[in-house]
Structure formats: C-alpha cells, structure tokens
Amino acid sequence: MKKLSRRNLMQLGMVGTVTALFKASESWGEMIAVPTPKEVEGPFYPAVDQIDKDADLTRVGGRNGRAKGQQIIIRGSVKNIGGQPVENAIIDIWQANAAGRYNHPRDSNPAPEDSYFQGWAIIRSDASGLYRFRTVKPGAYPATKSWTRPPHIHFKISRQGFPQLITQMYFPNESLNAIDLLYRNKTGAEQTLMTARQTGEYEGMLIYTYNIVLGKS
Ligand SMILES: [Fe+2]
C-alpha cells in the first residue's frame, strides 16, 4: 500500500474517512487496514450440493430463464492488512432470492422460490485480488415475527495462511439496516466496513463495491 502521511491525508480531505478504515501505527509510517468484521453464518448455508456455482447467479445452468428481481453486480478486492492483494481466495457466497427466500429445506418463509436463481456461488479472487459476480438484489425476509432481516449477502472466504472469514454484506440506504438485530450490534466503523458502496452502473445493472480485508492467523 502506498504510504501516506497524516498531512497528505489532510490535504486530500480524507482524515475522517481514512481513520474509519485504517488503524495507524504510532508513526503513521505504516498503514494497517482493519480486517472485515465477522458475522454469524446463519441457518441457511446451502445444504444440498449443486452443479452450477459460477459467478452469474442470475442463471442456472441447463435452465432457460433469468432470475426474478433487480440484477446487480458486486465487485471488490480481497487484501491483507498490509494492503496487498490476496489472490486465489475462495469466496463462497449465498443469499436469498429477490422475494427473500433461500433455496434451503429449513427456510419456512412462504415467499416463492425461484428455480432460475442460482442462490449460491463459489468463486476465487484473481491475480490482482479482485472478484466479481452478477446476482439479483436479495429481498428482506422475516427472521422472527418481530425481526425482518435487511437485504444482505453471506460471504465465507478461505485462503491458506489466513483465518477463515464468515461475514454478511449489507446494502447502503436500507431503512431496515438500523433496526436489524445483527447490524445494529456493530460499531459505526464496523457497519461501514460491512456495507457495500454503490459505485456505478453497467448495462442497466447497479454496481456495488465491497472490499474485503483478511486478518492474521
Ligand atoms: Fe441471511
């Protein structure tokens, strides 16, 4: 990572932003990125294996249709706390469909299943530590009678030499975030690290960026 002095950062108007994302060593000579916060795995990690686990969750191999819902792209980097890219990390992703239903035998939500939605992917970061997938925005769903989970995507990231990271990615500007029993338990800085940013658009699909930092073993 390029070293920036506190003065450089002030000139860039970035002190507030950067202090939320980095812990500085005493000298500010070395920037240490804060690892992405962990979150519980939840009850719906896929229970039944499936052939198609590629980076396009809006289609299922062998089926001629597209998943319902708003198509989006999620992309980002996987880095270590020193800011170096982590290549070949295994990124295991699972989520509810646009109606808020998981493809899981224990999901009792009466919302409809979507046989064109892949729901689960296992991809890898590339040589530059980057990853990308296409999916649909997951729906909110009832966790209990009084608790509605906001839209989120589950991530499990594995790479030799790093502790496995299990977490959940949230979407910005969701009114359900602030009252979610998991999200609201995080500090503001942790919430920032766990929430994707909307960074563009590609062929009508919103692009969200979610950068991941793996901690030390
Ligand atoms: Fe979930």
**What pLDDT does 125 receive?**
98
Q: Is the pTM of this model over 0.95?
A: no
Q: What is the mean pLDDT of residues 156-176?
A: 98
- What is the pLDDT confidence band of residue 11, given thresholds at 50, 70 and 90? low
The domains of the chain, with CATH numbers, are: 35-214 (2.60.130.10)
Q: Distance, CA 97 to ligand 1 centroid (Å)?
A: 10
**What pLDDT does 69 receive?**
98
Q: Distance, CA 26 to ligand 1 centroid (Å)?
A: 39
Q: Distance, CA 5 to ligand 1 centroid (Å)?
A: 40
**What pLDDT does 1 receive?**
45
Q: Is residue 192 classed as helix, strand or coil in its secondary structure?
A: helix
Percent of residues, the chain, with pLDDT higher than 90: 85
Higher pLDDT, 162 or 17: 162
List CB contacts of 211: < 8 A, sequence separation 6 or more. Answer: 76, 77, 78, 79
Residue-wise pLDDT tens digits, 41-86:
999 999 999 999 999 999 999 999 999 999 999 999 999 999 999 9
Annotated catalytic residues are 102, 141, 149, 152, 154
Query: Which of 17-26, 33-42, 181-190, 201-210 is least confident?
Result: 17-26
Q: Which DSSP state fits 68?
A: S
Q: Distance, CA 215 to ligand 1 centroid (Å)?
A: 23
Helix, strand, coil percentages in the chain from 3-state DSSP, rounded to 5:
10, 30, 55
Higher pLDDT, 209 or 32: 209
**Letter string b/e over residues 90-100, b meaning 16 or more CB atoms within 10 A of that residue's CB:** ebbbbbbbbbb
Q: Distance, CA 121 to ligand 1 centroid (Å)?
A: 15
